[in-house]
Structure 1
């Protein structure tokens, strides 16, 4: 039995081109892959203060907008649904000053306020429509024996669809540029930093030999185009010559330095911040670098010099406590971490570190204090898996198995361990009064975890005992 020739060629050709289009669109639409989130009390406080006037200028509520720092060396920032702005650590390190980062935040808030992530689907829908039309016409041409013409139609249709989608993306980027400029103006913040950052991106494009005369194949407008448009707006704005608040700038330089010491090789840190440099940012960077490189004595010397200069700075105390704790001296870390917790008004991240140190002493008399500080930590920030894990350990030691299961479920849920979260949530529900606040929370985790598991693999492939059922 013979099969008509067009069918043999039609399937693979259409499949390849369809997959190409869907893959291309998927790159733009797919949520960002899991990356390491960098959480630090001082950094989060700085980003909140830097962004607050811009968030308000965008007509949003500061308490509803979150700036999230990711461990990634590339110079990038993006939004991925909701009111969360993600910034790569490489962007902070590449910035010369706080004003440059504020320019980036303003741009990303333009995407948030404009609902661009939601509307991105509209651009994809238009592109898919073009692709499907070319698919039908091309398939008909192939079926009629005009194979080359059909393939040409399919290729042109895919090209047109992708071009349509990229054009839609460029419109959104231009819209965010203009919105960001408006927020900076309303907040009384200069656009100098924004312009400087676009010039830095343009220089990168030059180094990479990216053509500067055609933006057709790009998701963003050319940096030169953006600079030309924004320069006119910024230079005419009354805030153009407004300097950044000196205190805010000093805080930014500290945070940038500590981040440098944390994410870069310690030898690179010593080149950027040589020991002849005794400024606060330089000592801060070296303290983190020495600690990460397992030179605790040198790290402690730098941290102690910072505390001697500013005894009431909670972040310097936190640093020395962290060095002592992670060097196997939890008892010695307690004084600094208690002071840091008090001076930071029970910052949840610092409180969680204190709770960890109290547990690490292996002194049962410290468990009550650890439970208190960890409960405060998760009440004020319930997205810290580390704090939930420590709290689960304490509940277990105290014999409160129900709360131990619930805390472990909270930890596993935040860590993306869905089977473990479901198992512990169900165990918690069996040991907590039905209808209580904790029981309802366990039920929520169970439902969310079950849905996540169903997305990852068919239910029929899961063994009942794997999920803690009878």
Structure 2
């Protein structure tokens, strides 16, 4: 599991929350699981599995949201709170409901009336204050703000109920049991009980209360043939593994070791402890846990990946090559794993490995061009082999991805001047240079030299 950058179903209020402001976690095994568990639900919604992505966010709150486009963001805390894969499928179905119904694009339809009420109250309040009635003016403004917020929250509750209904429909159509959706709402209901229902004003919530959502959905889900569909045993096994490794990666080591003590010799415990020890800086213990995983299932590419990653980051890149090469092959050249393998090849500082590193990393960026670290590694090996033009192109790709358009323009220009014209790489350099230049011209203040 690698960090590439720095409750259930977020309300429309969270649609404005930029995912980039949070830490996105990328992991080959987790992404493969998300892809497989969501495929049938996406198809049932009429969307394309090529376009919809499910992305993991490093945040311990129980949440999921969409912010535009066709990406579902799921917090790591939600994975830890879920008991099984089916509950996560219920969350994904709800979020796909937001996407399919265009709720992000329609958010202004709820915000504008609410803003109108608020602005009108401010005008009337200021007028009252100017007329000498300060208390009355303040009261008018406060009441207007309350009314505006209530108007907006009513809109978001309608959107959430719509996404619930759509999600239930997609689950039924896909043949996926809705038990997980209902069970997860019951978890949220327990949280509401913890706050005290008497203290919760249902009209000042962005979502309907969980009890209401359960009541609205139960009949439609329970009467569908999919309700009694048997859980996918293989998917449940994958979920347990992902949940364990995620805890090891994001939680404090003490918490992981308390959850999975040394006396626990399950696959999940070894997986969690491998990440926990690796994170805590105990390479020998981490390596021992990885070895235990390999002993249980020698050909598992994700076990090979963690073994190779531990060796690489412990300063033993040459030893990491065997497991990482096997993991890359075993996952059909998964770009995240291939990037780690390419990194290890470079880290050996053996010129004999550089040609393979170029080959591996070129395939990685072709399959996943939205990975700055992969472009950095490719640029590094190009520089080491004397191909400065393509090293500059890789730097331009990385800079463009990170929003550094000045560096992107400069690097792409160097690449254009030194790569044979009209080749694929030359055309790509031209595209980056033009896009970067257009951004700088459109935002001159942003790029003004200080």
Structure 1 residue 449, shift from structure 2 partner: 4.5
1:290 and 2:239 correspond: no
Q: 1:144 to 1:434 in 2, by over 3 A?
A: farther
Compare 371-380 and 183-192 and name the one that shifted more. 183-192
Partner of 2:74: 87
Judged with a 3 Å threshold, the aligned counterparts in structure 2 of structure 1 residues 102 and 28 are, in CA distance, closer, same or farther, namely closer
Counting only pairs closer than 5 Å after superposition, residues 34-433 of structure 1 correspond to structure 2 as 34-209=21-196, 211=198, 214-432=201-419
TM-score (norm 1): 0.88
Residue 54 of structure 2 aligns to a residue whose secondary structure is strand
**5+ long unaligned stretches in structure 2:** 1-11
- Which deviates the most, 422-431 or 172-181? 422-431
Give 1:113 deviation, angstroms. 0.4
Alpha-carbon shift at residue 416 of structure 1 (Å): 3.8
Measured in 2, the distance between the counterparts of 1:26 and 1:57 equals 27
What is the Cα deviation at residue 299 of structure 1? 1.7
Rounded Cα–Cα distance in structure 2 between residues aligned with 1:132 and 1:399: 63
Contact 2:15-2:66 at 8 Å conserved across structures:
no
The structure-2 alpha-carbon separation of the partners of 1:59 and 1:116, relative to structure 1 and needing over 3 Å to count, comes to same
String of CA shifts for 1:69-105, please: whole Å, max 9, x gaps: 0111111100010000000111111111101100000
Distance in 2, Cα, partners of 1:131 & 1:455: 33
Alpha-carbon distance in 1 for matches of 2:92, 2:394: 34
Aligned to 1:18: none
1:191 and 1:361, CA in 2 relative to 1: closer, same or farther beyond 3 A?
Answer: same
Q: State TM-score, norm by structure 2.
A: 0.91
Aligned length: 439
- C-alpha separation in 1, matches of 2:261 and 2:447: 60
8 Å contact from structure 2 (residues 14, 65) kept in 1 = no
Q: Point out where structure 1 has 5 or more consecutive residues left out of the alignment.
A: 1-24, 464-470
What SS class does the counterpart of residue 216 from structure 1 fall into? helix
What CA distance in whole angstroms lies between the structure 1 residues aligned with 2:68 and 2:411?
29
Query: How far apart in 2 are the matches of 1:104 and 1:433?
Result: 50
Q: Deviations over 1:30-78 (max 9, x none)?
A: 5345111111111110110000010001111101111000111111100
Query: Could you tell me whether the CA contact under 8 Å between 1:212 and 1:222 is conserved in 2?
Result: no
Q: Is the 8 A contact 1:378 1:388 kept in 2?
A: yes
Matched-pair contact (CA < 8 Å) for 1:29–1:120: no
| Cα distance in 1 between the residues matched to 2:249 and 2:16 | 32
TM superposition shift of 1:268:
1.4
Matching residue of 1:438: 425
Moved more, 305-314 or 413-422: 413-422
In structure 2, relative to structure 1, the CA distance for the partners of 1:74 and 1:457 (3 Å cut) is farther
Q: Deviations over 1:9-47 (max 9, x none)?
A: xxxxxxxxxxxxxxxx98763534511111111111011
Residue 443 of structure 1 deviates from its aligned partner by 4.2
Q: Secondary structure at the match of 1:276?
A: coil
Alpha-carbon distance between aligned partners in 1 of 2:54 and 2:291, rounded to the nearest angstrom: 30
Larger radius of gyration: 1
Going from structure 1 to structure 2, the CA distance change for 1:246 and 1:375 (only over 3 Å counts) comes to: same
Classify the secondary structure of the residue corresponding to 2:425: helix
**Residue number in structure 1 paired with 2:6:** none
**Is the 1:395–1:404 Cα contact (8 Å) retained in structure 2?**
yes
Following the alignment from structure 2 to structure 1, what is the Cα–Cα distance between the partners of residues 425 and 234?
43
Distance 1:435 1:156 in 2: 65
Contact 1:212 1:224 (8 Å CA) reproduced:
no
Residue 437 and residue 137 in structure 1: after superposition, are their counterparts in 2 closer, same or farther (change >3 A)? farther
By how many angstroms is 1:242 displaced? Answer: 1.6
Would you say the 8 A contact 1:40–1:349 is kept in 2?
yes
Shift of 1:404: 1.1
